[in-house]
């Protein structure tokens, strides 16, 4: 096995080890960053929903409540305001969603799906739990969700949800008297659930990883070619020339020109040593002839 082949094998082995270590590290980092991005998006969406709810309660509801006897205005309902606002956002951000999933909702669209019902049931079974998050597979792809319980802590909410008789007539006229009643103070009736897709961040992470790996391989190929060229030019070729000269001298051919002695490295030292050996050999053979 010649020197060049040994060098290439060692260099390739070192590259494979470096690629495995660097690639594994970068893969974990980009996946962690993708997961963190998903969590940030979900938390940001939840914060927006809570902000809209708060604004509705403080700035919208007081002005519209006096009209409820004649007309039911869903804009006075914090859940409706948050749902409508984030639905407009979701129209521009496919896969993003916000829902106030309620076990016994006034508005049928708030009825929970199977996976949403499991979240609500868990909140009801674990009243001290204030937030849940995780991933779920749906027909729309994998989603990451953040959920918080909807607990009736304000007795004013029961004006529309205790009994049909206590509810505004305009509400009954719009939604009927069969659903959305029977709620109790401090009862967990549902959950605020925001969901964001995990596909896009993960695809970006895969693209970033592929770009990094491709760049690393390209750098390795470039280094491999450059180092092989340098090895051939600075080491292999001069050593072969010295070896060939030594073979010719050993066969009695003393007509070779001397090597240049300009190189300051180990190959230069070898060439200088060969020149001295050749001169000594020429002198010795001359002495023998005399």
Same structural domain for residues 45 and 131? Answer: yes
Bridge-based pairing of strands 141-151 and 132-138 is antiparallel
Cβ atoms of 100 and 81 closer than 8 Å: no
Same structural domain for residues 268 and 195? Answer: no
Boundary of a domain, candidates 152, 181, 205: 205
Q: What is the pLDDT of residue 248?
A: 75
Residues in the chain: 290
Same structural domain for residues 126 and 253? Answer: no
Same structural domain for residues 24 and 134? Answer: yes
User: Is the residue at 212 inside a domain?
Assistant: no
The pLDDT tens digits for 173-227 are 888 888 888 888 889 999 999 988 888 788 888 888 889 888 988 998 898 888 8
Same structural domain for residues 178 and 266? Answer: no
Same structural domain for residues 90 and 159? Answer: yes
Residue 270 belongs to domain with CATH number: 1.10.8.500
Same structural domain for residues 201 and 241? Answer: no
Q: What is the pLDDT of residue 194?
A: 92
Boundary of a domain, candidates 205, 234, 252: 205
Q: What is the pLDDT of residue 117?
A: 93
Same structural domain for residues 150 and 225? Answer: no
Boundary of a domain, candidates 181, 205, 229: 205
Q: What is the pLDDT of residue 112?
A: 92
Same structural domain for residues 238 and 277? Answer: yes
Q: In what order do the strands lie in the sheet with 132-138?
A: 97-102, 188-197, 141-151, 132-138
- In a structure prediction context, what are the per-residue pLDDT tens digits for the chain, which is 290 residues long? 677 788 888 888 988 898 889 888 988 888 888 888 888 888 888 998 889 888 888 888 777 767 766 777 777 788 888 888 888 888 888 888 899 999 999 888 889 999 999 999 999 999 999 999 988 888 777 889 999 999 988 877 777 788 888 887 878 888 888 888 888 888 999 999 998 888 878 888 888 888 988 898 899 889 888 888 888 777 777 777 777 877 777 767 676 777 777 777 777 777 778 777 777 777 777 676 66
User: Is the residue at 213 inside a domain?
Assistant: no
User: Is the residue at 61 inside a domain?
Assistant: yes
Chain-centroid distance of CA 53 in Å reads: 31
Domain with 231, as residue range(s), is 218-289
Q: What is the pLDDT of residue 191?
A: 94
Same structural domain for residues 226 and 194? Answer: no
Sign for the CA dihedral angle at 251, 257, 258, 264 comes to: negative
Q: What is the pLDDT of residue 101?
A: 92
Same structural domain for residues 58 and 106? Answer: yes
Residue 61 to residue 78: CA distance in whole angstroms: 8
Same structural domain for residues 172 and 233? Answer: no
Number of domains in the chain: 2
């Amino acid at each position: 096995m010649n020197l060049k082949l040994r060098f290439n094998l060692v260099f390739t082995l070192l590259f494979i080890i470096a690629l495995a270590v660097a690639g594994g590290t970068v893969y974990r980092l980009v996946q962690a960053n993708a997961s963190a991005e998903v969590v940030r998006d979900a938390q940001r969406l939840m914060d927006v929903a809570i902000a809209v709810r708060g604004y509705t309660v403080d700035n919208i509801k007081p002005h519209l409540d006096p009209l409820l006897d004649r007309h039911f205005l869903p804009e006075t309902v914090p859940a409706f305001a948050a749902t409508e606002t984030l639905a407009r956002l979701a129209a521009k951000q496919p896969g993003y969603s916000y829902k106030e999933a309620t076990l016994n909702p006034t508005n049928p669209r708030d009825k929970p799906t199977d996976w949403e019902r499991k979240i609500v049931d868990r909140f009801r079974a674990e009243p001290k739990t204030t937030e849940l998050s995780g991933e779920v597979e749906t027909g729309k792809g994998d989603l990451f969700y953040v959920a918080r319980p909807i607990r009736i802590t304000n007795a004013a909410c029961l004006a529309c949800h205790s009994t049909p008789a206590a509810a505004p007539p305009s509400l009954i006229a719009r939604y009927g008297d069969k659903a959305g009643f029977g709620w109790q103070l401090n009862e967990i009736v549902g959950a605020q659930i925001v969901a964001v897709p995990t596909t896009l961040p993960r695809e970006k992470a895969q693209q970033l990883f592929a770009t990094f790996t491709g760049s690393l391989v390209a750098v390795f190929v470039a280094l491999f070619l450059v180092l092989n060229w340098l090895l051939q030019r600075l080491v292999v070729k001069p050593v072969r020339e010295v070896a060939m000269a030594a073979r010719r001298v050993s066969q009695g051919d003393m007509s070779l020109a001397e090597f240049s002695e300009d190189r300051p490295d180990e190959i230069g030292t070898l060439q200088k040593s060969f020149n001295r050996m050749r001169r000594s050999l020429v002198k010795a053979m001359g002495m023998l002839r005399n």
